[in-house]
């Protein structure tokens, strides 16, 4: 599917064929594209929790106000990120660069993030957003539907997936074969309302 | 361009043809697709500052450690969001829905965001991330290059664009005709390193 068509036609789909099994080749293909999502300083700090265990899915559904897509979608991803990736072996992400470039980047990474917890969190959430749209558009292009989700008890979900210290949950994403079309759009803001020329 | 090709080939490009002028029809087309980026509760809380004024571009370049793409790219967007959109007329975003749906959503929106400043900020940053990748992939599909940017003095940029209270800057994005290819990838994490099965 053409990129512009994927962008225009993608909608959040909340009802899925629970009997459909996504072929592993499609899951791998989706992940291969997801890993192309850009991250600042190439830190690739996202961690994608792919929930397959039906009992865990059921518990997550309770933590997400009983939304059916949690158990019924083919793929459930909890999109997390390591807010400490800037100090947890960032050299791994620059190992193929020339040594002087790598040294410069590692120095810049340290100076940019050290002592700035809000920036570390922003970075995690921002990268998850970029990755989520990458996955949603890839899914559309591959003939799947998706639903981005933030409506859940994040503390409970963190317990259930055993989120390690220093990590945050950015959002969840379900992908599968939708069974009902989205409702018509509830109200679009005009371009003039969101495009600002030069300054506010 | 096919969506999966756009995802695989997009790279951050930092050098642009400063003499190239992006046709207004392309700018409008890009924005038309950008506005399809999903937001939680359909709040569409992003505000896209399109900087055309050359003097303002020059000042922003100083605030961004003299990175050339700030002045040389055809399009410079400062991606912001209104963290208070949940209480600033959210009904506008649900005006076309049935009345009972609208009332339910407005009640849910209030309960979800009220009194949660970190969530309000996360939401802004997450939506900007989703929108940024929408714009970057649309740009690729339209034959343009792009560069996502967080390397700048956010306080100074906020002054320069007169960012209103309650708004945050999520990132910047440049779009235009690149003149140099990206360097080879500096180091990719393996799928096994970022995909977690069921729980950490």
Mutate to test the interface with B, among A4, A42, A104, A142 (most CBs of B within 10 A): A4
Which pLDDT tens digit goes with each residue over A89-147? 999 999 999 999 999 999 999 999 999 999 999 999 999 999 999 999 999 999 999 99
Tell me the average pLDDT across A188-193.
96
pLDDT for residue A159: 98
pLDDT for residue A57: 98
Cβ A199–B8 below 8 Å, yes or no? no
DSSP string, B126-157: HHHHHHHHHHHHHHHHTT-EEEEE--S-HHHH
In terms of DSSP bridges, do strands B195-197 and A46-50 run parallel, antiparallel, or are they unpaired? parallel
Cβ A150–B40 below 8 Å, yes or no? yes
Residue of B nearest to A195 (CA): B48
pLDDT for residue A117: 98
Cβ B49–A1 below 8 Å, yes or no? no
pLDDT exceeding 70 applies to what percent of chain A? 100
- Cβ(A93)–Cβ(A44) under 8 Å? yes
- Cβ(B159)–Cβ(A197) under 8 Å? no
Q: So where are chain A's domains?
A: 3-84+119-182
Confidence of residue B180 (pLDDT cuts 50, 70, 90): very high
Tell me the average pLDDT across A30-55.
98
Cβ B134–A7 below 8 Å, yes or no? yes
Residue of B nearest to A147 (CA): B38
pLDDT for residue A192: 96
With beta carbons under 8 A apart, name residues in chain A contacting B125.
122, 125-126, 129
Q: Which CATH architecture has domain B3-182?
A: 3-Layer(aba) Sandwich (3.40)
Cβ A97–B125 below 8 Å, yes or no? no
- Cβ(B127)–Cβ(B104) under 8 Å? no
With beta carbons under 8 A apart, name residues in chain B contacting A96.
184-187
Cβ B53–A148 below 8 Å, yes or no? no
d(CA B152, CA B168): 14
Work out the minimum CA distance from A84 to partner chain B, whole angstroms.
Answer: 14
Least CB–CB distance from B199: residue in A49, A121, A183: A49
With beta carbons under 8 A apart, name residues in chain A contacting B82.
none
Distances B58 to A177, B12, B19, B51 between C-alpha atoms, Å: 49, 21, 16, 10
SS3 call for A93: helix
A-B contacts (CB, under 8 Å):
247
Tell me the average pLDDT across B108-122.
97
With beta carbons under 8 A apart, name residues in chain B contacting A75.
none
Cβ A49–B184 below 8 Å, yes or no? no
How does the average pLDDT of chain A come out, rounded?
97
pLDDT for residue B114: 98
Cβ A96–B186 below 8 Å, yes or no? yes
Residue of A nearest to B95 (CA): A187
Residue of B nearest to A127 (CA): B129
pLDDT for residue B60: 98
Tell me the average pLDDT across B189-194.
96
Distances A139 to A13, B57, B72, B130, B134 between C-alpha atoms, Å: 12, 37, 34, 15, 14
Residue whose C-alpha is closest to residue A127's, from B150, B158, B41, B183: B150
* Main-chain phi, psi angles of B114, to 5 degrees: -60, 130
Confidence of residue A191 (pLDDT cuts 50, 70, 90): very high
pLDDT for residue B194: 97
In CATH, what number does A3-84+119-182 get? 3.40.109.10
Tell me the average pLDDT across B119-145.
98
Secondary structure letter of residue A70 according to DSSP = H
pLDDT for residue A152: 97
Confidence of residue B162 (pLDDT cuts 50, 70, 90): very high
Cβ B189–A129 below 8 Å, yes or no? no
Cβ B56–A7 below 8 Å, yes or no? no
In terms of DSSP bridges, do strands B145-149 and A195-197 run parallel, antiparallel, or are they unpaired? unpaired
Which pLDDT tens digit goes with each residue over B61-76? 999 999 999 999 999 9
């Amino acid at each position: 599917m053409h990129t512009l068509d994927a962008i225009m036609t993608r909608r959040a789909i909340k009802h899925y064929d629970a009997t459909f099994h996504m072929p592993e080749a499609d899951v791998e293909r989706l992940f291969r594209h997801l890993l192309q999502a850009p991250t600042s300083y190439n830190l690739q700090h996202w961690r994608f929790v792919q929930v397959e265990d039906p009992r865990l899915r059921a518990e997550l559904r309770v933590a997400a106000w009983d939304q059916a897509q949690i158990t019924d979608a083919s793929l459930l991803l909890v999109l997390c990120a390591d807010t400490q990736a800037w100090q947890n072996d960032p050299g791994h992400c620059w190992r193929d660069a020339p040594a002087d470039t790598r040294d410069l980047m590692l120095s810049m990474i340290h100076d940019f993030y050290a002592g700035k917890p809000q920036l570390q969190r922003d970075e995690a959430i921002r990268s998850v957003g970029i990755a989520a749209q990458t996955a949603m558009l890839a899914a559309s292009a591959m003939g799947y539907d998706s639903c981005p989700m933030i409506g859940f008890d994040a503390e409970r979900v963190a317990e259930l997936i055993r989120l390690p210290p220093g990590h945050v949950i950015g959002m969840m994403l379900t992908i599968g074969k939708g069974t009902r079309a989205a409702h018509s759009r509830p109200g679009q803001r005009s371009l003039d309302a969101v495009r600002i020329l030069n300054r506010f």
